[in-house]
């Protein structure tokens, strides 16, 4: 079931059309990577979902209920981490979570239980009683996720939670999002494709105000599979030229790209482009085997998210 449905949403700022009849859905239980370049409209979309901005046309549904601009009741099941989270720096993390719990109308017992659980989930146990104004960016992002989860939302929306962090900080936030997914559907925006590949099962690439490419990441990769075959041979070294010449001579091979040879390499890799991996693959295999080379690996290459992205954005 779709927990979030965005149906034909448009948003203009004066002459500028940011969202142009944008439609997509986020299925319950998924981790959705909302990808787009700077200024593509990710933050605008998220603000519309949480009722902070009014769409010019279209509708958004969360858990089947329509989102209203302003104090929308749908926010009871949404946790939101904005792109630049603001905290009361004089509070410590526990005080801040208590404050957020009260704003959500939770009772003292639930706030206590939930705060302890969330402080552990985001790994802030050692700093829970330090003032937030002394926190690093990564610590603030962790607290931001904890704050967004205080009322046990069905949907967690994070606006670029990893963008300002170093690789270790990014890994830690991604690990938290992976843990969260057991109980909560996650929608997060980013332009870091590597982060998406690490934790998301579903993606939507926002481009020119709409989803240029979206769906299950594995399915997208397999449907956009190109006719590239990765071959690995033993041994490395002297045979590279002969092998390359042999592969290039085959009529159904359209290009041959040898892998960079490391000094201590014991095998030799080639990326070979054919007309059709399905029909030319077996022919390629039998040619190689007949010519006596030692084949160690044969794999139809999957496109990376980066290559899909560039294909869509180009």
Ligand X SMILES: Nc1ncnc2c1ncn2[C@@H]1O[C@H](COP(=O)(O)OP(=O)(O)OP(=O)(O)O)[C@@H](O)[C@H]1O
Stretch of 1-9, 39-47, 246-254, 296-304 contacting Mg ion, by CB under 5 A: 39-47
Paired residues of 4 in beta bridges: 26, 62
Q: How far is the CB of 83 from ligand X (least distance, A)?
A: 6
Minimum distance from residue 286 beta carbon to Mg ion (Å): 52
Q: Going by C-beta distance under 8 Å and a sequence separation of 6 or more, which residues neighbour residue 218?
A: 201
Report the residue number, 36 or 79, with the smaller CB distance to ligand X: 36
Nearer to ligand X, 138 or 209 (CB): 209
DSSP per residue over 112-159, as a string? Answer: HHHHHHHHHHTT-GGGTTSBGGG--HHHHHHHHHHHHHTT--SEEEEE
Nearest distance from C-beta of residue 43 to Mg ion, angstroms = 3
252: exposed, middle or buried (Cβ count in 10 Å: 0-12, 13-18, 19+): middle
Cβ contacts of residue 168 below 8 Å, gap of 6+? none
Question: Using the rule CB under 6 A, which residue among 13, 69, 88, 90 binds ligand X?
Answer: 13
Q: Which does 303 bind (CB under 5 to 8 A by kind): ligand X, Mg ion, none?
A: none
Nearest approach in angstroms of CB 180 to ligand X is 22
Q: Is 214:203 a contact under the CB 8 Å cutoff? A: yes
43 binds Mg ion (CB under 5 A): yes
Write out the binding residues for ligand X, residues 31-50 only, by CB under 6 A. Answer: 36, 38-44
Structure tokens at 103: 């704003």
Smallest distance from the beta carbon of 158 to ligand X, in angstroms?
12
Contact partner, 36, from Mg ion, ligand X, none, Cβ < 5-8 Å per class: ligand X
228 scored as a contact of Mg ion (CB under 5 A): no
The pairing of beta strand 185-190 with beta strand 202-207? unpaired
Cβ nearer to Mg ion, comparing 150 with 165: 165
Task: Give just the sign of the alpha carbon dihedral 52, 197, 175, 128.
Answer: negative
Could you tell which of Mg ion, ligand X, none binds residue 51, using a CB distance below 5 to 8 A set by kind? Answer: none
Q: Residue 209 binds which one of Mg ion, ligand X, none, with CB within 5 to 8 A depending on kind?
A: none
Tokens standing for 296? 């160690």
Strand order in the sheet with 155-159: 78-81, 155-159, 185-190, 31-35, 202-207, 210-216
Question: What, of ligand X, Mg ion, none, does residue 18 touch, CB below 5 to 8 Å by kind?
Answer: ligand X
Alpha helix (H) ranges present in the chain? 42-49, 93-103, 108-121, 137-149, 167-180, 193-199, 217-223, 240-249, 277-290, 305-313
Q: Number of residues in contact with ligand X, rule: CB under 6 A?
A: 12
If one counts every other C-beta atom within 10 angstroms of the C-beta of residue 118, the result is 24
Nearest residue to 204 via CA among 76, 53, 24, 3: 24
Question: Does the protein bind Mg ion through residue 162 (CB under 5 A)?
Answer: no
- Residue 147: contacted member of Mg ion, ligand X, none (CB under 5 to 8 Å, by partner type): none
Per CB under 5 A, which region of 8-16, 36-44, 47-55, 122-130 contacts Mg ion?
Answer: 36-44
- The residue (of 164 and 300) whose beta carbon lies closer to Mg ion is 164
Min dist. Cβ of residue 18 to ligand X (A): 4
The site for ligand X (CB under 6 A) is made up of 13, 18, 36, 38-44, 83, 191
The site for Mg ion (CB under 5 A) is made up of 42-43, 83
């Amino acid at each position: 079931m779709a927990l979030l449905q965005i149906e034909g949403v448009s948003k203009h700022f004066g002459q500028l059309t940011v969202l142009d009849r944008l439609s997509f859905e986020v299925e319950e239980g998924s981790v959705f990577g909302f990808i787009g370049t700077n200024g593509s409209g990710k933050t605008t979309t998220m603000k519309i979902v949480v009722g902070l901005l009014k769409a010019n046309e279209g509708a958004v549904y969360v858990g089947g209920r329509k989102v209203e601009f302003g104090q929308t009741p749908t926010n009871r099941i949404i946790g939101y981490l904005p792109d630049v989270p603001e905290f009361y720096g004089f509070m410590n993390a526990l005080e801040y979570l208590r404050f957020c719990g009260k704003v959500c109308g939770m009772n003292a017992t639930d706030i206590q239980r939930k705060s302890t659980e969330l402080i552990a989930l985001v790994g802030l146990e050692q700093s829970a009683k330090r003032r937030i104004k002394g926190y690093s960016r990564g610590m603030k992002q962790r607290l931001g996720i904890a704050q967004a989860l205080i009322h046990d939302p069905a949907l967690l929306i994070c606006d670029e939670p990893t963008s300002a962090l170093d690789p270790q900080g990014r890994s830690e936030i991604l690990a938290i999002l992976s843990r969260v997914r057991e109980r909560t559907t996650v929608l997060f925006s980013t332009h870091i494709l590597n982060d998406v590949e690490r934790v998301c099962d579903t993606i939507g690439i926002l481009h020119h105000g709409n989803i240029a490419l979206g769906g299950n990441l594995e399915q997208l990769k397999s449907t956009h599979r190109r006719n590239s075959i990765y071959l690995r041979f033993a041994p490395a070294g002297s045979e590279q030229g002969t092998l390359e010449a042999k592969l290039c001579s085959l009529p159904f091979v359209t290009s041959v790209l040898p892998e960079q040879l490391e000094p201590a390499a014991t095998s030799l890799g080639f990326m070979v482009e054919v007309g059709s991996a399905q029909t030319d693959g077996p022919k390629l295999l039998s040619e190689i085997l007949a010519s006596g080379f030692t084949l160690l690996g044969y794999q139809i290459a999957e496109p990376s998210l980066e290559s899909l992205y560039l294909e869509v954005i180009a």
